[in-house]
Structure 1
């Protein structure tokens, strides 16, 4: 369960969208979170990721390596 307070203008927009589409406000809040969670994690956790890369705990790949792995290389 999640409860959050939104600015009035956002709440009005969300309410209008829900009414016009027949879906709930919760549906759209969930969709927005799912759509953007990866980006938020990358933005806010990038320092941790960089430390893991620098310490060798996180493996990185070149584009060439990735293309070969996926069978896309010439």
Structure 2
């Protein structure tokens, strides 16, 4: 479980969206995280590869723990 504090304006927007659609705030928070998690992982993988061109540690870990697809392979050259 994860507890987060949101700025009041974001909390209000989230509450309004949940009320209008009949879904929970938790539903929309999960959706937002899932939608952007791949982008965030890609960003940090790219930064790591640029800062450490000979290092394969993170890529090796990802290959072992995830189904490697073109999204990951495109950074390995």
TM-score where L is the length of structure 2: 0.64
Partner of 1:68: none
1:39-66 CA-partner distances (Å, limit 9, x unpaired): 1122234322332xx2273532xxxxxx
Question: Which SS does the other structure have where 2:23 is aligned?
Answer: coil
Query: Hey, what's the Cα distance between the residues in 1 that align with 2:55 and 2:6?
Result: 41
Could you tell me which runs of 5 or more consecutive residues in structure 2 were left unpaired when the two chains were aligned: 60-75
Equivalent residues, number: 58
TM-score where L is the length of structure 1: 0.66
Where has structure 1 moved over 6 Å in runs of 4 or more?
A: none
Structure scoring higher RCO (CA < 8 A, sep ≥ 6) equals: 2
Please identify the structure whose Cα radius of gyration is greater: 1
